[in-house]
Amino acid sequence: MRDASITLITIVGPTASGKTALSVELAAALGGEIVSADSRQIYRGMDIGTAKATRAERDRIPHHLLDIVEPDQVLTLAEYQAAAYHAIEDIARRGRRPLLVGGTGQYVAAVLEGWQIPEVAPQELLRRELEAYAAEHGAEALHGRLAGIDPVAAAAIDHRNVRRVIRALEVCLVTGRPISGLQRKSGAPYTIVQLGVTRPRPVLYERIDQRVDRMIDAGLVDEVRRLAAAGFAWDLPAMTGLGYRQIGQHLRGEVTLDEAIALIKRDTRRFVRQQYNWFRPGDESIRWIDPSQTSLADVLSYLKGQLGS
């Protein structure tokens, strides 16, 4: 356990639900600072496609764990967790209110549940071998290899999430032990107050479409072009994320820009469905709100009641 005297406000929910805007307003009202829990916003130079807080929002409220690695660098889950704990505790020591905000469920869970994460450094040769196996035999075959070694981990990982399957296999093969046996939970390290931001699915999909259009207008194509020109390979995890993969297809002449935009919108909707596997509206530990139906004053009233202020 860390410090239960620290109360951590957590704001979770699917992409395009309105987490960033709400978190900035809440942080301003509560004297808070924001710790990002987004696995794509860690990359420098990837601003538009990851929907980072704007410069105005970041000038207004300090944000932590944005822009901490280059697109060709690896940040392990253990490294993210340690950095998040450091940021949260530093914010609290300075008398400010920490808010953990983001849609990467694994990041949020690792922080809130105190995961004991195996510190196995990335094994690049092994990763390439496993990637080649998946490319030749398919994602389900790779997932089957994990199921043979660690059925508990395999049951918790979608076979389509090849990177997570590879990481689980990597840990198992390096340590000789199943990752599910190594990933223990020590419990919540702080006093936790969780807010979930959601919208009716049709509204959320419309917001996704509008946001993708704004990203294009803001220069997403040029952002991806600059990254490629800087030497970042198309097959890097950062460059195969939502938006970057599809615009990369366009820049390589594989699809038109209109087709790339349609693919981003479709794949973002699919991603939202995956996010709801982490953040379930029926989860009673999360106070769910629809910002179009709940006023900022009501949210603040609820939080102040939870904080005893």
User: Which residue intervals of the chain bear CATH 1.10.20.140?
Assistant: 124-182
The fold of the 7-116+185-199+284-307 domain, in CATH, is Rossmann fold (3.40.50)
CATH of 124-182, one of 2.40.110.10, 1.10.3720.10, 1.10.20.140, 3.40.50.720: 1.10.20.140
The Cβ of residue 60 has, within 10 Å, a number of other Cβ atoms equal to: 14
What long-range pairs does 271-276 form, CB within 8 A, spacing at least 24?
Answer: 271/15, 271/242, 272/14, 272/15, 272/16, 272/204, 272/205, 272/208, 274/158, 275/13, 275/14, 275/15, 275/103, 275/105, 276/14
Pairing of strands 286-289, 115-116: unpaired
User: Domain 201-275: which CATH class?
Assistant: mainly alpha
State the pLDDT at residue 299: 96
Strand order in the sheet with 286-289: 63-64, 32-36, 97-101, 7-12, 191-197, 286-289
Among candidates 9, 16, 15, which has minimal Cα distance to 39? 15
Residue span(s) of the chain under CATH 3.40.50.300 come to: 7-116+185-199+284-307
Instruction: Write out residues in the chain with pLDDT < 70, as ranges.
Output: 1-2, 182-183, 309
Give Cα separations from 149 to 120, 122, 135 (angstroms).
17, 19, 20
pLDDT at residue 72, rounded to an integer: 95
Q: What is the pTM of this model?
A: 0.85
Q: Where in the chain is the domain with CATH 1.10.287.890?
A: 201-275
| CB burial of residue 35 (10 Å; 0-12, 13-18, 19+) | buried
Buried b (16+ CB within 10 A) or exposed e, 203-235: ebbebbbebbeebbeeebbebbeebbeeebeee
Question: Using CB atoms within 10 A of its CB, is residue 293 exposed (0-12), middle (13-18) or buried (19+)?
Answer: exposed
In the numeric block, the tokens 């990467």 are attached to 104
pLDDT at 280: 80
